[in-house]
Structure 1
Amino acid sequence: MYTFLASFTVHPDHRDDFVDIALKTGRDSLANEPGSKDFTVVADEADPNLFYLNETYADEAAFRAHAEGPYFTTFFAEASKYAEGPTWLMKGNILEQPA
């Protein structure tokens, strides 16, 4: 599986807007993109304007399909108005433990 962690710094007046669009993107992606496996929105415990998206896909091709799809496009069209990012903190493949 392919996963990443990205951060966004959000203008204080738009924190709720960012949370709403990020959660909607996660719900829509998980419901409609077969390769989407997890989409978690995390608020930083020390900085109320910093958020993380931790997403997991079946593989890198599934992530590319997501990145070319309508939910990704809608998210960035909205979030880019009041958020800086993404800052890619981690990208890679999950290693499976042997049975």
Structure 2
Amino acid sequence: MYTFLASFTVQPEHRSDFVEVALKTGRDSLANEPGSEAFTVVADEADPNRFYLNETYADEAAFQAHAEGAYFKAFFAEASQYAEGPTWLMRGNVLSQPA
């Protein structure tokens, strides 16, 4: 699995706009993009203007397909008007151990 954590800093008057578009992107991606496995929107407890997206894909190719797709493009078309980011905090492949 390929996963990442990215942060965005949002203009205070657009916090609810960011949450709405991020949640919509997650719903649409999970429902319609093969290989999309998890899409979590997290509000920073110390900074109300900072949000994190934690996403997981079957592999890096599935993430690249997402990044080239309509939902990703629509998210950035809107969010870039009032949010700075992404700041990539972590990207990589999940390592698992035998049970």
Cα distance in 1 for partners of 2:11, 2:23 equals 17
TM-score (norm 1): 0.99
SS at match of 1:76: helix
The secondary structure found in structure 2 opposite 1:71 is helix
Provide the rounded CA distance (Å) in 2 between the counterparts of 1:98 and 1:42. Answer: 30
Report whether the alignment pairs 1:60 with 2:60: yes
One-letter amino acid matched to 1:66: H
5+ residue gaps, structure 2:
none
1:19 counterpart residue number: 19
Q: 1:50 corresponds to which letter in structure 2?
A: R
The structural deviation recorded for 1:90 is: 0.1
Shift of 1:74: 0.1
- Tell me which residue corresponds to 2:45: 45
Distance 2:69 2:11 in 1: 26
Matched position secondary structure for 1:66: helix
Aligned-residue RMSD, C-alpha? 0.4
Secondary structure in 1 matching 2:97: coil
Q: Taking structure 2 as the reference length, what is the TM-score of the superposition?
A: 0.99
Q: Show the counterpart of 1:80.
A: 80
- In structure 1, stretches of 5+ residues that fail to align are none
- Amino-acid identity (%): 84
Task: Give the CA deviation at 1:96.
Answer: 1.0
Q: Give the partner amino acid of 1:27.
A: R
Does the residue aligned with 1:62 lie in a helix, a strand or coil?
A: helix
Q: 1:17 and 1:97 mapped to 2: Cα distance?
A: 40
Q: Following superposition, which runs of at least 4 residues in structure 1 exceed 2 angstroms of deviation?
A: none
